[in-house]
């Protein structure tokens, strides 16, 4: 696969000030769209690096028909920033980290981890879920950035959010599954949350959503890969929370190595980003 000279990668350290309306919308709804966060040239350059890393580090080779619901939802490759030096400046970008900090309304953000989420043509839906089900962090103030590397439309499986659901907090030990789709679909209808779809997005646009915001995505009924990069952030000064389900226990060992509940969540894998 084509690779790029590191010197050719554009710096992503400039500020991207948000409007007060965007910050207010995020606070109210638990999600917000940020258009043009990366320019066409910037995202095109980093797409080369990310695609190269995904190709080298992906481990899922089974046909879609042989996978469970989680496996059909996307190809998932995590923490590329420590595995590929060309992806690192994207993930550790001050621009992206500062936007996350602005939305969380904190002085500085830290990286939890990154992940490429590629939904193949014919890939299945991503069930309703809460991201922070997986994270042993002692805060309600966490955020995920979701950025397509290519132009995407609704046929490819773009995001849907249950607006305001972040105010419900932790809804229990419910990982991404058929069960989470059934339970949370009923919950969303009973509580009357408005379902908002991100719709078509250009490469370099991004959505940001709270760790407690219920969200999911339809399957990819198109004929192109839905190439997306995500980055998870939390406020500097956050402490490690309880590892009270199996996924949080695994995350504690993987993304917060050497730490225990009550410690500052600031391992070598959690640098300041903005």
The CATH number linked to 246 is 2.60.120.620
Helix (H) or strand (E) holding 187: helix 178-191
- Which pLDDT score is estimated for 74? 63
Sheet containing 206-210: give its strands across.
31-34, 206-210, 143-148, 228-235, 109-118, 75-78
Q: Is residue 231 part of a domain?
A: yes
Tens-digit pLDDT profile for residues 73-87: 668 999 999 999 999
Q: Is residue 272 part of a domain?
A: no
DSSP conformational letter for 130: -
Helix (H) or strand (E) holding 48: helix 40-57
Q: Is residue 1 part of a domain?
A: no
Q: Is residue 267 part of a domain?
A: no
Rounded to the nearest 10°, the torsion over CA 25, 31, 32, 37 is 140
Q: What total number of domains does the chain contain?
A: 1
- What span, in angstroms and rounded, lies between the C-alpha atoms of 48 and 203? 13
- Angle made by CA atoms 8, 9, 13, in degrees to the nearest 5: 135
Q: Is residue 187 part of a domain?
A: yes
Terminal CA-CA length for the chain: 32
Q: Is residue 270 part of a domain?
A: no
CA-closest candidate to residue 105, choices 26, 205, 213: 26
Mean pLDDT of 179-198: 98
Q: Is residue 210 part of a domain?
A: yes
- Which pLDDT score is estimated for 117? 95
What tokens were used for 169?
A: 């907090």
241 φ, ψ (degrees, to nearest 5): -95, -170
Tens-digit pLDDT profile for residues 152-188: 999 999 999 999 999 999 999 999 999 999 999 999 9
- What span, in angstroms and rounded, lies between the C-alpha atoms of 30 and 24? 10
Q: Which domain does 240 fall in, by range?
A: 6-255
Q: Is 70 a residue whose pLDDT tops 70? A: no
Dihedral sign computed on CA atoms, order 206, 74, 83, 52: negative
Reported pTM? 0.94
What tokens were used for 35?
A: 């258009």
Average pLDDT for the chain: 94
């Amino acid at each position: 696969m084509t690779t790029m000279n590191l010197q050719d990668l554009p710096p992503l350290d400039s500020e991207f000030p948000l409007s007060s309306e965007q910050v207010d919308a995020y606070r109210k709804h638990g999600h917000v769209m940020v258009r043009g966060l990366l320019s066409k040239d910037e995202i095109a350059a980093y797409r080369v690096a990310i695609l190269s890393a995904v190709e080298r580090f992906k481990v899922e080779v089974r046909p879609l028909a042989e996978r469970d619901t989680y496996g059909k939802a996307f190809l998932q490759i995590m923490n590329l920033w420590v595995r590929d030096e060309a992806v690192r400046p994207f993930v550790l970008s001050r621009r992206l980290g500062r936007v996350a900090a602005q939305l969380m309304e904190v002085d500085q953000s830290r990286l939890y981890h990154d992940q490429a989420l590629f939904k193949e043509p014919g890939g299945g839906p991503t069930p309703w879920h809460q991201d922070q089900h997986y994270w042993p962090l002692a805060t309600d103030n966490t955020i995920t950035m979701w950025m397509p590397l290519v132009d995407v439309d609704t046929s490819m499986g773009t995001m849907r959010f249950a607006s305001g659901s972040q105010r419900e907090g932790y809804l229990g030990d419910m990982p991404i599954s058929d069960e989470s789709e059934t339970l949370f679909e009923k919950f969303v209808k009973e509580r009357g949350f408005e379902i908002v779809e991100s719709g078509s997005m250009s490469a370099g646009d991004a959505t940001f959503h709270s760790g407690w915001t219920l969200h999911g995505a339809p399957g990819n009924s198109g004929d192109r890969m839905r190439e997306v990069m995500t980055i998870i952030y939390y406020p500097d000064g956050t402490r490690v929370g309880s590892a009270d389900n199996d996924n949080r226990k695994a995350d504690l060992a993987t993304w917060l190595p050497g730490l225990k509940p009550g410690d500052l969540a600031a391992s070598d894998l959690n640098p300041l980003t903005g």
